[in-house]
Amino acid sequence: LMYPSSVEYNNENLNDACDQIQSFGANLSGTELLEPIISVLSTASDYKHPKNVFVLTDGCISNTQQVLDKIREANSLTRVHSFGIGSGASTYLVKEIAKEGKGSYTMI
């Protein structure tokens, strides 16, 4: 997680997030969403800083329904948006994450 709870959008936090994103990597051994979704959705959020979660995926998963159930259970202060990257991304997964998370989606 980048932060233990929601943070205000400002230039300092944006720059910090961009720096952290530069260190991200992929091990190319499959897409695992359930544990990260559980982890990020369990962090605190408040009405001053509603939580927006962005899921990026280039594949599909075997436990789609479990992931969607966890997203559906998220509190009303959380929105989950999704990005499908490449031809291997599951359109169903990307669309349903956004639907259950009251967010938006994009296929890239």
Q: What is the pLDDT of residues 60-69, one digit of tens each?
A: 888 999 999 9
Q: Provide the domain count of the chain.
A: 1
Helix (H) or strand (E) holding 36: helix 34-41
44 forms bridges with which residues in the sheet?
5
Residue 66 inside a domain? The answer is yes
Query: Given this model, what pLDDT does residue 94 score?
Result: 96
Distance between CA atoms of residues 33 and 31, nearest Å: 6
Residue 60 inside a domain? The answer is yes
Q: For the whole prediction, is pTM greater than 0.75?
A: yes
* pLDDT tens-digit series, residues 13-54: 999 988 988 887 665 566 789 999 999 998 877 777 788 899
Task: Specify which of 2-6, 19-23, 91-95 reaches the highest per-range mean pLDDT.
Answer: 91-95
Distance between CA atoms of residues 52 and 88, nearest Å: 25
Residue 97 inside a domain? The answer is yes
Of 28, 81, 34, whose CA–CA distance to 59 is shortest?
A: 28
Distance between CA atoms of residues 90 and 62, nearest Å: 11
Residue 75 inside a domain? The answer is yes
Residue 2 inside a domain? The answer is no
Query: Given this model, what pLDDT does residue 28 score?
Result: 56
